[in-house]
Chain A
Amino acid sequence: MSVLVDKNTRVIVQGITGHQGSFHAGEMIKFGTKVVAGVSPGKGGSKFQDLDVYDTVAEAMKLSPDATMISVPAPYVKDAAFEAIDHGIKIVYILTEHVPFHDTMEIVHQARRKGITLIGPNGPGITSPFLCKIGIMPNQIFKEGDVAVASRSGTLTYEIVEAITRNGFGESTVIGLGGDPVVGLTFIDVLKMFEEDERTKKIVLVGEIGGNNEERAAEYIKKHVSKKVVAYITGRSAPPGKRMGHAGAIIEKGVGTAESKIKAFNSAGVKVADYPWDIPGLLR
């Protein structure tokens, strides 16, 4: 068993008939993911490749999905997430960017009440080569291996995963937490999973400015993580008070600086790379 997903994980895609939903559902199938159905309100009865498309998650439940990818416009995300959570789908991943954080707060707490894992919003999803991919990470950058990666970014994650693969390592599980100020998973949540995971031997954390997720992770690592952890933090040249692309990437009233995060990791014995391409060297 890998982290959260494996080759038996059955996945549905909410918003499968949309531009993003259909493209990424196709890529997930190519990767080897067991996509079992799609849901698109109003498109019930149509097909995606050889899969049935339903109007509601309720109908798709007969295929016993374990996970869902939600790729619907931001105003509809809360409803789609509640639909999945209320039907008890164990893993809910939200791809959509620009979800109001008040909606995400409610989704986070409803998921917590029902014991459901929420990944995202506004992140690239989860990939365990080559067992399962739920999300939008490019298929060709992965190799099976023992390095687990958790990140707050998308493209930067691919950059680092590609460097890991090119340097002779491989990945056990890669999780994108999402670039919003409110997301389902924290670094601590995934560190717990990586520490328990038998496939994982080394851990890479890719953090960025904003909030104190990294500082809390550093405290947790000191006490609870025995595996090797290395990190990269981006945004060290960012001016305070400016949102750097991600809604969550902002230094507010002195909180969330790169210096603070790097210092916290160093004090936990976690080496922090100056550049993304230095990560493989730190894994040696």
Chain B
Amino acid sequence: MGKEIFRKYGIPVPDGYVVESASGVKKFDKPVVIKSQILLGGRGKSGGIKFAKSQADLDSGVKELLGSKIRNLTVSKVLVEEMLDIKKEIYVSIALNRAERVPMVIASSSGGVEIESVPEDKIFKTLVDPLIGYSDYIGREATNFLKLEPAIAAQFRSILSNLYRVFEKEDCELVEINPLVITGSGKLIAADAKVVMDSDSMFRHKEINIVDTEKTPLELEAQGKGYSFVELDGNIGVIANGAGLTMATLDALTLHKGKPRNFLDLGGTDNVDTVVNAFELVMKADPKAILVNIFGGVTKCDTVANGIVAAKDRLKISKPIVVRLSGVHEDEGRAILKNDGIEAFSTMLPAIERVAQIAGGN
């Protein structure tokens, strides 16, 4: 997918085609690389890449890769791509520099390896003013640093300028070419393309449908329902409000030898169903007990209490639920829960201790 974007922006990529079944394989005319199309780094190590020097290699390679599994993901597409005549591999990327809050251009004459493993003095870095954008002098400084010969340098500058357009127009967090290959015949070609877009920008990129394969099925379901949700490997389901408070809840549980099963930020809500749906997600993760930690503000404690009671009833929850309510309408919330036989703590510590004790008892 990264390479399609590159092609659109005039960045040279290897000739190739994507096939979804063995019948799509074209006639062999030059050595090729067959690459599994999954959105994951480290394909080579997982066996997702094959080389073919004949029609027989090509046919068998495609057959082997299609339908194979790489880290639990089934390969449904493979890319058949010309094998490049590699003379040298270099590196170029543009990424957000969080501290300076600007795009940063990074280039190095050491490509094909993780940039973190390259010594600092071998890396060109420069910050770009986001209001001004890319200027050609940045490319001249980069090629000067990399000591590229003139014909290669001109191609590099054109690629860098186009790469910046990708970064800007496609709302990217990161665009990376590693390696950028210098071929035997003196051409620069992007042998790999990493394009990471900002998920908050999707309202202006409606044509793109990103499936985040780093997420578990339950995390994707939660995302579809509008929750920030992360699966963890413990046994205590967690529902809290606010990302910071939810993280703090997981931290406190961990320090008390409790093992959180998930991160779920309820967000700011005054809707009983939002609470019930959160419980539904957490129950799917099959925890041993559930901790609800609410500091009421926009989210009112009585709404959450009504949500807990409704969730218990509608989802037939029999597992222990430990609740902490503090803030707006906490007394009302506590009364609602008491009526249903649930005690609600007013501070975090006893709630954490209680749930860690319940879940730890095996």
| A109-B130 CB under 8 A given contacts A208-B244, A211-B98, A246-B243 | yes
A-B contact count (CB 8 A): 157
* A211 lies within 8 A of B99 (CB): yes
Residue of B247, B295, B327 near A244 (CB, 8 A) is B247
Q: A102-B201, A244-B230 are in contact. Are A157 and B244 (CB under 8 A)?
A: yes
Contact of B349 among A213, A238, A277 (CB under 8 A): A277
- B residues near A155, Cβ cutoff 8 Å: 240-242, 244-245, 295, 297
Collect the chain A residues with CB atoms within 8 Å of residue B254's CB. Answer: 236-237
Chain A 177-217, CB-CB to B under 8 Å as 1, else 0, gives 00101100010000000000000000000101111110010
A274, B255: Cβ atoms closer than 8 Å: yes
Closest to B169 in A: A102
Q: Which residues of A contact B296 (CB under 8 A)?
A: 138
Residue B200 is within 8 A (CB to CB) of chain A in the complex:
yes
We find that the number of chain A residues with CB closer than 8 angstroms to chain B is 63
B265 within 8 A of A: yes
Q: How far is the CA of A60 from the CA of B145 in the complex (A)?
A: 52
CA distance A58 to B327 in the complex (A): 39
Contacts of B242 in A (CB 8 A): 153-156, 245
B291 to chain A, nearest CB (A): 14
Q: Which of A109, A113, A237 has the most CB of B within 10 A?
A: A237
Q: Is A239 an interface residue (CB 8 A)?
A: yes
Chain A residues contacting B173 (CB-CB under 8 Å) are: 101
Q: Check: A98 CB closer than 8 A to any chain B CB.
A: yes
Return chain B residues, CB-CB under 8 Å to A276.
Answer: 248, 252, 348
- Would you mind naming 15 contact pairs between A and B with Cβ atoms under 8 Å apart? A100-B171, A105-B130, A110-B131, A140-B328, A155-B295, A179-B243, A208-B247, A211-B98, A236-B251, A237-B250, A241-B214, A245-B242, A248-B98, A274-B255, A276-B252
Give A residues with C-beta under 8 Å from B: 23, 74-75, 98-102, 104-106, 108-110, 113, 136-138, 140-141, 151-159, 162, 179, 181-182, 186, 206, 208-213, 216, 232, 234-239, 241-249, 253, 274-277
